[in-house]
């Protein structure tokens, strides 16, 4: 899980013989979900990086957006992108870190807001829909860890409607070991197809929160499914032995922060929505409550990377049905 030493946009990248095209995505840095929902045009603007890979085709292609986790674009994301290009998908790899001068959020998840991460997904969706070689009705987002949180929130109609409009949304969202510590009281995702996948031994994210999020979406009428991978740790899609990152700041037992319809966080100790609350406030509360610790394991065992690849391809191939 090495940090990048170069900015992804500055690398010449070829996946499955397809040369990546640099994109500049107009996104934003909302301070919290409430600002993103109630004043999307008033959020601090920022341009983020992405690379688009489009296989040769006579018709617009189904597309998968790959959104990285806490160390930015890594070898696993690049490998998955190549696999998807080989399978005939257009792929857009998003780099939210380079433009923000962030190399890692492993030790500090508040380097920028989780709302900004989800905003990046919708901003990229909006940009991809304007490309003639892409089928605007078949754009999926695949997010890992923090990126899994981003695609989950971006699929929520409470978040998406004010930013991209009621008629616009992801065709599918594949949340890979997602952090689900923020959940809307109204989890409706409209017509988006949703799937979460997480290892049962994950030390970064709460399996119970992922179960709750996926079940809530399904109970609200959404097409949602979940897979729990036996004996798997965080980042089980990566080749490499299980090992501990000592600087990881994690708090899986912390109470879930629910979000009102306007994005205001609800402090579980008070039960009332507060538009001024931010990620930082809630993470400080988690530490003060004794829920946080340093150090968490990543890596894979045996055929777990192949288990992931099979699940990934099966999910995204439904875009071609």
Give bridge partners of residue 173 from the DSSP assignment: 141, 194
Report the C-alpha gap between 78 and 247 in whole angstroms.
Answer: 24
First to last CA, the chain: 34
Q: Domain boundaries in the chain?
A: 8-320
Q: Residue 205 — φ and ψ, nearest 5°?
A: -120, 150
Mean pLDDT by 10 residues, the chain (321 residues): 73 97 97 98 96 97 93 90 98 92 68 94 98 98 97 98 97 98 98 98 97 98 98 95 91 95 96 96 92 92 98 97 81
Q: What is the model's pLDDT at position 101?
A: 79
Report the C-alpha gap between 143 and 131 in whole angstroms.
Answer: 21
Total-model pTM = 0.96
Evaluate whether 195 touches 315 at the Cβ level (below 8 Å): yes
Q: What is the model's pLDDT at position 109?
A: 65
Q: What would the CATH number be for the domain defined by 8-320? A: 3.40.50.1820
Q: What is the model's pLDDT at position 2?
A: 55
Q: What is the model's pLDDT at position 1?
A: 41
Q: What is the model's pLDDT at position 3?
A: 56
The DSSP secondary-structure symbol of 172 reads: E
Q: How far is CA 295 from CA 215, 235, 244, in A?
A: 29, 14, 6
């Amino acid at each position: 899980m090495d940090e990048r030493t170069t900015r992804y946009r500055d690398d010449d990248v070829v996946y499955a013989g397809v040369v990546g095209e640099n994109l500049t995505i107009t996104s934003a840095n909302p301070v919290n979900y409430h600002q993103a929902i109630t004043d999307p045009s008033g959020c601090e603007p920022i341009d983020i990086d992405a690379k688009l890979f489009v296989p040769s085709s006579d018709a617009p292609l189904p597309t998968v957006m790959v959104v990285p986790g806490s160390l930015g674009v890594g070898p696993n994301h690049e490998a998955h992108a190549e696999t998807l290009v080989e399978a005939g998908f257009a792929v857009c790899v998003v780099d939210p870190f380079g433009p923000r001068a962030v190399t890692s959020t492993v030790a500090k998840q508040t380097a920028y807001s989780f709302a900004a991460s989800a905003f990046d997904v919708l901003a990229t969706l909006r940009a991809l829909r304007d490309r003639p070689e892409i089928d605007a009705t078949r754009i999926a987002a695949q997010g890992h860890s923090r990126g899994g949180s981003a695609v989950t929130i971006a699929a929520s109609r409470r978040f998406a409607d004010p930013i991209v409009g009621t008629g616009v949304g992801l065709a599918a969202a594949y949340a890979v070991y997602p952090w689900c510590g923020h959940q809307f009281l109204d989890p409706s995702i409209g017509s988006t197809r949703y799937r979460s996948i997480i290892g049962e031994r994950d030390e970064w994210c709460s399996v119970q929160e992922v179960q709750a999020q996926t079940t809530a979406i399904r109970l609200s009428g959404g097409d949602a499914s979940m897979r729990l991978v036996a004996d798997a740790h965080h980042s089980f899609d990566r080749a490499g032995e299980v090992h501990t990152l000592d600087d990881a700041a994690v708090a899986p037992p912390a109470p879930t922060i629910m979000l009102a319809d306007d994005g205001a966080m609800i402090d579980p100790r008070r039960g009332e929505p507060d538009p001024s609350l931010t990620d930082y406030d809630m993470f400080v509360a988690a530490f003060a409550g004794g829920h946080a610790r340093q150090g968490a394991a990543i890596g894979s065992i045996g055929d777990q990377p192949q288990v992931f690849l099979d699940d990934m391809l099966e999910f995204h191939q439904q875009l071609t049905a």
